[in-house]
Amino acid sequence: MTMSIESWQSGSITIALPDIPNNSLYFALCIGIYILVETVGNGLLVSIILLEKYGGDSKKRTLINQLTTQICLMVILSNLASPHFIIYRLIIAALSK
């Protein structure tokens, strides 16, 4: 599948879009991986945050521990925000065919 875009200059740009398989096994696999990442992945990241924050003496938290907690929070937020667009694209592409 290709999509042609007319540019404001004299030429045009052609972008090759990947074909998405239209079978239920592929769709179920994508949904399964999405649910696995959302539940297990975020649960493990929350446990890392809790271990870093409350696992030892809070007065002795190093800079590495504080940065690890902040990185885990950012990964959780990106896991909650980003994959929804991919799943919506899969559903819309499957319905449009």
Task: Give the CA angle between residues 1, 5, 27 to the nearest 5°.
Answer: 35
When mean pLDDT is compared across 30-34, 42-46, 56-60, 61-65, the lowest value belongs to 56-60
Q: Using 50, 70 and 90 to split pLDDT, how confident is the model at 17?
A: low
Distance separating alpha carbons of residues 32 and 26, to the nearest angstrom: 10
The pLDDT value given to residue 1: 47
Q: How confident is the model over 59-79, as pLDDT tens digits?
A: 778 888 888 889 999 988 888
How many other C-beta atoms lie within 10 A of the C-beta of residue 90? Answer: 16
Whether pLDDT at 51 is above 60: yes
